[in-house]
Structure 1
Amino acid sequence: MRQRSLIAITAALAAGALTLTACGSRDEDGGSDSGGGGTTVVIGVDAPLTGDLSALGLGIKNSAELAVKTANKEKTVEGVTFKVESLDDQAQPSSGQQNATKFVADKEVLGVVGPLNSGVAESMQKVFDDAKLVEVSPANTGPTLTQGPDWQSGKKVRTYKSYFRTATTDAIQGPFAAQYIFNDAKKKKVFVIDDKKTYGAGLAGTFTTEFKKLGGQVVGTEHIDPETKDFSAVATKVKNSGADVVYYGGEYPQAGPLSKQIKAAGANIPLAGGDGIKDDVFIELAGKSGTGDLSTSVGAPVEELPSAKEFVANYKAAGYKEPYGAYGGYSYDSAWAIIQAVKTVMEDNDGKLPDDARAKITETMQNVSFDGVTGKVAFDEYGDAVNKQLTVYSVENGAWKPVKSGTFTG
């Protein structure tokens, strides 16, 4: 999700030696543990590495680096050493676009992992697509990114063939949350709030449509300014609405204080949200009154997946200071998808990178398929993940506890 300048293409390019370098990585070699050979391939990582959402962004960066370290150690692609270039987008679309331009300018970058925010992705897609540089997001959930602005009417159009993601979309996450809240939690009156951003507004919209379809009542709606932390006015509206649950489309820096202030206003009801609030920082910000709050998140709990045991152990052994977070497993799988695409392209070209490596890797990504940290990793005709699993979490005893996993059934 963030930006960093890349080295100019050299004569080695003609010989098939393309490089990917990393800035802001844990160690000086950008995440490479062992030399795989004469060709260096750089994988860019764009994420919020500073600011309110850095807890998620650093987990994305670290996990992508771990994938690169693993590929180098195991010599996954014979003759290739992978490196990471990490750029900070601060969750700002303008920074993301600048980062995308920097990645594209460095001809050694053959793929990018990120970003975190759907709004940031919107600013990057065309830049990458024009350069035929593949982008694989571990966290974007906005449906328009892959299926176009009219996806809800059934008119799905894939605008950018270079864009893929390993996380499922809000077209599924919002309705999945609505079904759980209405059918399982038995909440019938909801107050819907969003932060007016691409992710938050989109998620609130898909939730609302399904909740109404089920017979639920929307007793109030409100938009908040994500730049403030004073939500006393909206908290009072929630209290007076008679709602038995709040659904918030947005992220944890605002969701935590919002939950706390709603309870303080006298509305002792749970706040529910999407994967954007599913972070331990939310629990810190919400305080003890956040007990019982709910979140959906993509996939099954990484800690409970047999396929993720090695990832969890290796991440711990690597000594990263930050947790891998909600998207760590997906970030690892996104980087691994790029690595697999590079491997296939080289195998099809006598062990060398072709002159049109970026275009070939983007084309190859459509058919990449493997068993990853998060389960089956593959992409449908829109570039969306074929893995549609989601999990509902509840705050219990100061931690997020999984309460139900499944897929949305419309």
Structure 2
Amino acid sequence: MRHRSLLILTTAITAGALTLSACGSRDDSSDGGGDSGKTTVVIGVDAPLTGSLSALGQGIKNSADLAAKTANKNKEVDGVTFKVEALDDQAVPASGQQNATKLTGNDEVLGVVGPLNSGVAQSMQGVFAKADLAQVSPANTNPALSQGDNWAKGDLKRPFETYFRTATTDVIQGRFAAQYYYKDAKKKKVFVIDDKQTYGAGLASIFAKEFKRLGGKVVGTDHLTVKETDFSSIADKVKNSGADSVYFGGQYPEGGLLSDQIKGAGAEIPLMGGDGIYDPEFIKASGTKNDGDLATSVGYPVEELDSAKTFIKDYEAAGYKDPYAAYGGYSYDAAWSVIQAVKKVVEDNDGKLPEDARAKVTEALKDVSFDGVTGKVAFDEYGDTTNKQLTVYEVKGGAWEAVKSETFKD
């Protein structure tokens, strides 16, 4: 992984220490690996650290933490020590909003990585915007977060200047999935199910529209409720519909059970979903062999990227208890984008943090560009990633295996 050269600070700064400002604080202890006398900048993290989606949330937290540790080790910003404050939203919007309020109340926080869920992000955006505090999500894919509620009508308007993401949107992911199902997997009759949540319903709608545009037929639709476990009535509807495939907009806890029960009802057809089901827990949730099920996820497989070799090595060396999971690389890149924005702000202000550091960091993020774990990291005019790489994964032999990766083109 290539990082830009260290910032050369003005000679007016003595002993490499930064002048204190309204944001950031002088750290006079060596706790957490920081050097005495340095300014502390906190990167907040919001993710589901407990509950059914904790496998993804812990990967987000650990990967952001690794970015902070790497910046400190490399002295990426002279005189600055980065620390991470991670809060658990349990995938609940109200908890996310409370966490956003807590993070904005800490003057040391100059950027936030997260959340995982698009619905949680909706509850946080306004809080961050009022405080000029930038958030960079490694996982949100709902288009409305960055392009406004009327995005489907072609009326794109960025709701919050403080919102960015390193994951591509469902406008891309949903269409990519439909094209694979119709053109590559040769599926013509799909049954579409969603979990009624912001992410799942939005993704399923985009998929269905594209599938029909290509010439496929949606033979049925239904909805399930998050945290329920009995989907037998839906499974029967799928079997009786004559569908040759299922598309599910939702997360892996329900997705794995749904796949299991559809097959148990006698419909031996594949279930496909988005990045929300791309996790080993999807396979574990099913008691029936689900080889042939499919998922799309943002980017190329991290393990196959030359740009990710250092990240993988350093993550393993750090000894984190949980894997980096589906969004580890994107979380590292999200945290690194905040670090690079802080670096630019310090450089432009004669080696110290300005009084309006948060607003300046948000502005600097718009022009951030670097070679990250997941490839080139940069943001467009809506705060969306410019990286439109995606991958289709298939369950083979009880494990996810990449079957197609490409850069999406209309």
Q: When the two structures are superposed, what TM-score results if normalisation uses the length of structure 2? A: 0.93
Structure 1 residues 325 and 20: CA distance shift in structure 2, 3 A: farther
> In the aligned structure 1, how far is the partner of 2:79 from the partner of 2:166?
27
Shift of 1:108: 1.1
> In the aligned structure 2, how far is the partner of 1:80 from the partner of 1:170?
36
CA contact (8 A) 2:300 2:391 kept: yes
Shift of 1:36: 7.7
Aligned to 2:332: 332
Structure 1: gaps (5+ residues): 1-11, 22-27
Aligned to 1:209: 209
CA contact (8 A) 1:37 1:80 kept: no
* Partner amino acid, structure 2, of 1:224: L
Provide, for residues 253-297 of structure 1, a one-character-per-residue CA deviation record: whole Å limited to 9, x for no partner.
100000000000000000000000000000111244211100000
> In the aligned structure 1, how far is the partner of 2:189 from the partner of 2:316?
43
Aligned counterparts, 1:1-400, within 5 A: 15=21, 18-19=24-25, 32-35=32-35, 37-400=37-400
> In the aligned structure 1, how far is the partner of 2:392 from the partner of 2:367?
30
* Partner amino acid, structure 2, of 1:18: G
> In the aligned structure 2, how far is the partner of 1:189 from the partner of 1:360?
51
Aligned to 1:3: none
Size of the aligned set, in residue pairs, is 391
Provide, for residues 16-56 of structure 1, a one-character-per-residue CA deviation record: whole Å limited to 9, x for no partner.
660599xxxxxx95xx4442851000000000000000000
Structure 2: gaps (5+ residues): 1-17
Q: Secondary structure at the match of 1:290?
A: coil
Q: When the two structures are superposed, what TM-score results if normalisation uses the length of structure 1? A: 0.93
Q: Secondary structure at the match of 2:159?
A: coil
> In the aligned structure 2, how far is the partner of 1:255 from the partner of 1:288?
13
Q: Percent identity?
A: 68
Shift of 1:72: 0.4
CA contact (8 A) 2:26 2:39 kept: no
Shift of 1:69: 0.5
Q: Secondary structure at the match of 1:276?
A: coil
> In the aligned structure 1, how far is the partner of 2:289 from the partner of 2:25?
50
* Partner amino acid, structure 1, of 2:66: L
CA contact (8 A) 1:34 1:73 kept: no
Structure 1 residues 395 and 270: CA distance shift in structure 2, 3 A: same
* Partner amino acid, structure 1, of 2:24: L
CA contact (8 A) 2:393 2:401 kept: yes
> In the aligned structure 2, how far is the partner of 1:20 from the partner of 1:340?
20
**After alignment, is 88-97 or 33-42 more displaced?**
33-42
CA contact (8 A) 1:63 1:324 kept: yes
CA contact (8 A) 1:42 1:83 kept: yes
CA contact (8 A) 1:134 1:358 kept: yes
> In the aligned structure 1, how far is the partner of 2:272 from the partner of 2:399?
15
* Partner amino acid, structure 2, of 1:193: I
Shift of 1:98: 0.3
* Partner amino acid, structure 1, of 2:54: S
CA contact (8 A) 2:191 2:243 kept: yes
CA contact (8 A) 1:65 1:84 kept: yes
CA contact (8 A) 1:36 1:75 kept: no
4+ residue runs over 3 A deviation: 12-17
Q: Secondary structure at the match of 1:277?
A: coil
> In the aligned structure 1, how far is the partner of 2:196 from the partner of 2:394?
25
CA contact (8 A) 1:18 1:108 kept: yes
> In the aligned structure 2, how far is the partner of 1:37 from the partner of 1:368?
28
Q: Secondary structure at the match of 1:289?
A: coil
> In the aligned structure 1, how far is the partner of 2:181 from the partner of 2:25?
48
Shift of 1:408: 2.8
Structure 1 residues 266 and 20: CA distance shift in structure 2, 3 A: farther
Shift of 1:406: 1.1
